Amino acid sequence: MDKAISVENLSMAYRNKKEEIIAVDNISFTVNQGEVFSFLGPSGAGKTTTQRILTTLLPITDGMAHVAGYNVITDAKKVRKNIGYVGQLGGADPNATVRESLELSGKLYRQSKDVTAQRIDKLSKLLDFHELLSRFVRTLSGGQKRRVEIAQGILHEPKVLFLDEPTTGLDPQNRANLWKHIKTLRDNGMTIFLTTHYLEEADALSDRLIILDHGKIVAEGTPTELKKRVSGEAISIELKNSQDADKMKQFFHQLAIDNMIETDIGFTVYTPKGEELVADIFKYTKNNHIELVKLSLSIPSLNDVFLALTGKELRDGGKEDEQ
Ligand SMILES: Nc1ncnc2c1ncn2[C@@H]1O[C@H](COP(=O)(O)OP(=O)(O)OP(=O)(O)O)[C@@H](O)[C@H]1O
Ligand SMILES: [Mg+2]
């Protein structure tokens, strides 16, 4: 088996009485063994749908997919043996203790009590919740609960772990802590496929990623490769009055800046001479009585990549739970 996951021309449509929703639209990609691979995309992009296909929980409308070397349709049982899946909503029973939750997972995987006990010991140390084993799940913090759920998902030592938005709802500190643990699992040889709508998460955690939008692949590569696609520095301005947009456009036009994206609230322009242009913008807006709400200069982030490729901010389509 050379690739942990391979997907060829995969499509998936949900059909109900009234309509057909194409959630995944002819995507192809591979995931190497032992890497953290991410799907970054806004709400409704098709991230969960793809993961549910690869974890054998949903059928394929068209195309083919292999996980751990097995066909997800014709060899679903073998696929399930080799994967762990921690879904978007989490699944630990609030009224069980942490140890009981893990023992139940062990039973579901048909492991002997001894093997389960050994792995609970090992994973609770690795994921840093050994002191919490006798606590009720309902008393855990969000970050602690996620770590227990991940342990449930990998108690049978799968080759490939699927995590659907593992850090949604966690505060930044807990999020960074979970990234560290996910990297530890990767360093121990596991392949990890996660979905996220957090740019920082995709950037910090992924060895490679795909930007997904409307069921289609928008871009693919390492975070560094993707950021290199957007040349120069990014200047974002937010206008107080949208009537000033035309004046700003004229100004950029005069300076022969064509690498510019207009958003609902202003502009993002890309230029090799960031600081110089910032000074010019200040001068021009002052002289022309244009009020700015915000002006920022930054080296391109994955948000700029998304913006450059789709013409919209990833945050617009994301969820309102950034903390
Ligand atoms: N059971 C379903 N029946 C009909 N349409 C569905 C169903 N589940 C998902 N969809 C639609 O398929 C598309 C992709 O949904 P999916 O859940 O895969 O997106 P996602 O990228 O995981 O989004 P989120 O970030 O909100 O979790 C959306 O348009 C969604 O409304
Ligand atoms: Mg989802």
Are residues 255 and 178 part of one domain? no
Q: For residue 31, what is the domain's CATH number? A: 3.40.50.300
Identify any residues that bridge with 31 across adjacent strands, giving them in sequence order.
Answer: 5
Do 180 and 74 fall into the same domain? yes
Q: Are residues 286 and 250 located together in one domain of the fold?
A: yes
240 shares a domain with 210 = no
Residue 78 pLDDT: 96
Q: Is residue 27 within 6 Å of ligand 1 at its C-beta?
A: no
The Å distance, Cα 40 to ligand 1 centre, comes to 14
Nearby residues of 24 by Cβ (< 8 Å), 6 or more positions away: 10, 11, 12, 46, 49, 50, 53, 215
146 and 40 in one domain?
yes
Predicted confidence (pLDDT) per residue in 30-63, tens digit: 999 999 999 999 999 999 999 999 999 999 999 9
Residues 37, 145 within the same domain = yes
Establish if 323 belongs to a structural domain.
no
The protein residue with its alpha carbon nearest to ligand 1, atom 7, reads 14
Q: What is the count of structural domains for the chain? A: 2
Residues 205 and 238 in one domain: no
So what's the pLDDT on residue 48?
96
Q: What is the CATH number of the domain that holds 241?
A: 3.30.70.790
* pLDDT of the residue at 315: 64
* Final residue in a domain of this structure, among 166, 196, 222: 222
Q: How far apart are CA 175 and CA 146, in angstroms?
A: 10
- Verify that 203 and 239 share a domain, yes or no: no
Q: Give the residues of the chain that fall short of pLDDT 50.
A: 316-323
Residues 39 and 100 in one domain: yes
Ligand nearest the Cα atom of residue 23: 1
Q: What's the 49 CA to ligand 1 centre distance in angstroms? A: 6
C-beta of residue 268 within 8 angstroms of C-beta of residue 260: yes
pLDDT score of 318: 41
Within a domain: residue 118?
A: yes
Indicate whether 97 and 138 sit together in one domain.
yes
Q: Which pLDDT score, from 0 to 100, does residue 299 have?
A: 80
What is the predicted pLDDT for the residue at 312?
Answer: 80
Beta carbon of 21 within 6 Å of any ligand 1 atom: yes
Domain check: are 240 and 209 in the same one?
no
* Spacing, Cα 82 to ligand 1 middle (Å): 25
Q: Which domain holds residue 72?
A: 3-222
Do strands 83-86 and 36-40 pair parallel, antiparallel, or not at all (unpaired)? unpaired
Q: Answer whether 66 contacts ligand 1 (Cβ < 6 A).
A: no
Answer whether 44 contacts ligand 1 (Cβ < 6 A).
yes
- Among 202, 222, 242, the domain-final residue is 222
**Which residue type is seen at 183?**
K
pLDDT digits (tens, 9 = 90+) for 99-122: 999 999 999 999 999 999 999 999
The whole-number pLDDT of residue 1 equals 54
